[in-house]
A and B are shown apart, each in its own frame.
Chain A
């Protein structure tokens, strides 16, 4: 089993308790422990099997549309005063980075003999990706989605249904992503023998944070090569790599390609969901990480205009990267995000999802610091799903405005 070598590579394997530094672990009901152990063993076995790797890569290529391109933003670079590159995860099948992880997990679940996937979703992107993989591989799929998100992402609910998935509304707590995770975990506790929990980010109990990151390393690996090509031999690595952070999967994917370079890595959280920013450790959904909570340890509700980042926790590896100072975490407000959303649309003809618009919003805010540098942003998804919500906000619709915190 892998054991963390403190002097070893950043973003290497977790230790044999599933920890990155002091974060991570496997805090799940006893009923789920054997399933987590089984998944860990199956993942390790598959990930070191060239046959599985080939199948995964082929599926990403032939079905997922990889590699995703890298786009240089000439107009916006001029406007902001630094060189901007986008890793175009928005151009993947189903419109976001989420498909990488989901295809990996669905192939693995199938290999393990599971017949059903259960998943949680916030924005609906992970739910749509899960529904898609289930359709492709002939598996059943159930997706839990908070009631608030069902409303603001109605189009994705219908997409999942079209794909043959049963969407269940999570009515407890804040009725957003956190509660969808609770419901998916409860469902998994009761169906663990036949069902694989297809978790959508680098969170949850070991091996999820590690496994999900591994399925997304394709983002960082491609980006590293593309940067080298674009930037040339003398300076093949961007100065700064930026990604939005909900649970942190797209960030983990792109960071993994640059962790061993001297590129600065910046994760951007929503101001109302800045778990790393608040620096208080806690345990929820299977791992120890930074967690928004009150003085007693009750988990607080996150607030973000973007359903995909509306989460009070963060993946344990990000807590570790923050701890050792390898990555830094910044936050932006909903208003700044809406401005960035419109800015990229207007200047480059690319409508981003609200989630990666957080990354761009920070870049706009930090433009003095970034002047003259080369900055790579992981454009984790496209904005189609958000257009109706943004329109309603810009039109001043009171209900849509109520999802905003200035």
Chain B
């Protein structure tokens, strides 16, 4: 298993801006596993694999819809992890899901299931600093990086604590809101990136609201990289093929390489 943080730091040191696209585990229903290798070969440096949850409060309509299609077609955490363990993308994979799925499975078992599936980290957006302790300790022990979200609503003292607890990278929340595309890059994306870069040497990756190669490049004037989710998933919900999603990831790559 590749250590998420070391992998990203090495790439950053080489002057590369980091691209982390998102895949919903179970959408498009049968084809989604091929996105993992496809995105990797299109230039992804790591990837978020969403494990669908019934009540995703941090997600806007796009990810909600992909999740509910996946769930309606029988997606469950075990199936997602089984499919992931069969993939060989050559870049680290990070599980993105909500805490109850982890809690229900048990911290230890959830961590070891991620390890068994070959995953490197986990993002649990409804598990903030004060509640993360038990899980994060268990994850540390298993070698799973607990990525922490850092929000624009926090003061610097809090951001500092969040950065300290973060493993793998710090996920800067690009706007005050939920996932979904936005016509323009939020001003808060650049300001949270700046604040985090001043506070930590860990990779600072900005996500939520990053919608196209131009926005990705703009935020990477400051940040180390971006997470892009809704903009990818929406293309497929609109009828685009998985190949078109992969092409879009390649375009994001080109955007970042222009920085």
Contacts and interface: CB of A to CB of B under 8 A. Distances in A.
B47 interface: no
Contacts of A30: 125, 128-129, 148-151, 153-154, 162, 173
A298 B130 contact: no
Contact of B100 (A33, A173, A191, A293): A293
B55 A299 contact: yes
A34 B58 CA distance: 16
Contacts of A172: 64, 68
B101 interface: yes
B60 A283 contact: no
Contact of B54 (A26, A28, A173, A191): A173
B55 A33 contact: no
A131 to B, nearest CB: 23
A285 B54 CA distance: 12
Given A31-B151, A34-B154, A192-B176, 4 more contacts: A30-B151, A31-B173, A295-B104, A296-B77
Interface in B56-72: 56-60, 64, 68, 71
B177 A284 contact: no
A169 interface: no
Given A34-B153, A34-B154, A192-B153, A299 B100 contact: yes
A17 B68 contact: no
23 contacts: A25-B130, A27-B99, A29-B58, A29-B128, A30-B150, A31-B151, A31-B177, A33-B154, A34-B154, A173-B68, A178-B55, A186-B178, A189-B176, A282-B103, A283-B99, A285-B57, A286-B126, A296-B105, A297-B103, A297-B104, A297-B105, A298-B76, A298-B101
B177 A189 contact: yes
A265 interface: no
B39 interface: no
A185 interface: yes
Interface string A291-306: 1010111110000000
Nearest to A282: B100
A275 to B, nearest CB: 13
B155 interface: yes
B176 A190 contact: yes
Which 8 residue pairs are nearest across A and B when measured between Cβ atoms? A297-B104, A190-B177, A31-B151, A30-B149, A298-B54, A30-B151, A297-B100, A297-B101
Interface residues on A, range: 35 or more
A179 B59 CA distance: 13
B155 A293 contact: no
A403 interface: no
A191 B176 CA distance: 7
B104 A27 contact: no
A173 B129 CA distance: 28
B128 A27 contact: yes
Contacts of A295: 104
A399 interface: no
A374 interface: no
B50 to A, nearest CB: 14
A182 B58 contact: no
B57 A283 contact: no
A185 B173 contact: no
A30 B54 CA distance: 20
A189 B175 CA distance: 10
A281 B103 CA distance: 9
Chain A binding surface, main DSSP class: mixed
Nearest to B208: A31
A339 interface: no
A33 B130 contact: yes
B127 interface: yes
Contacts of B151: 29-31, 33-34
Interface string B142-181: 0000001111111100100010000000000100111000
B76 A27 contact: no
Interface in B100-115: 100-105
Contacts of B103: 281-283, 288, 297
B100 A284 contact: yes
A116 to B, nearest CB: 14
Interface in A304-362: none
A186 B57 contact: yes
Interface in A18-37: 25-35
* Chain A CB within 10 A, most for which of B77, B152, B178: B178
* Chain B CB within 10 A, most for which of A192, A283, A295: A283
A79 interface: no
Contact of B57 (A25, A29, A34, A193): A29
B68 to A, nearest CB: 7
B195 to A, nearest CB: 14
Contacts of A28: 126, 128
B10 interface: no
* Chain A CB within 10 A, most for which of B64, B68, B149, B151: B151
A299 B52 CA distance: 12
A291 to B, nearest CB: 8
Nearest to A286: B126
B128 A298 contact: no
Contacts of A297: 53, 77, 100-105
Contacts of A193: 153, 176
Given A189-B178, A193-B176, A26 B71 contact: no
A293 B71 CA distance: 14
Contacts of B76: 296, 298
A8 B151 CA distance: 37
Nearest to B125: A29
B60 A186 contact: yes
Contacts of B101: 296-298
A28 B64 CA distance: 18
A295 B128 CA distance: 24
Nearest to B159: A30
B31 interface: no
Contacts of B173: 30-31
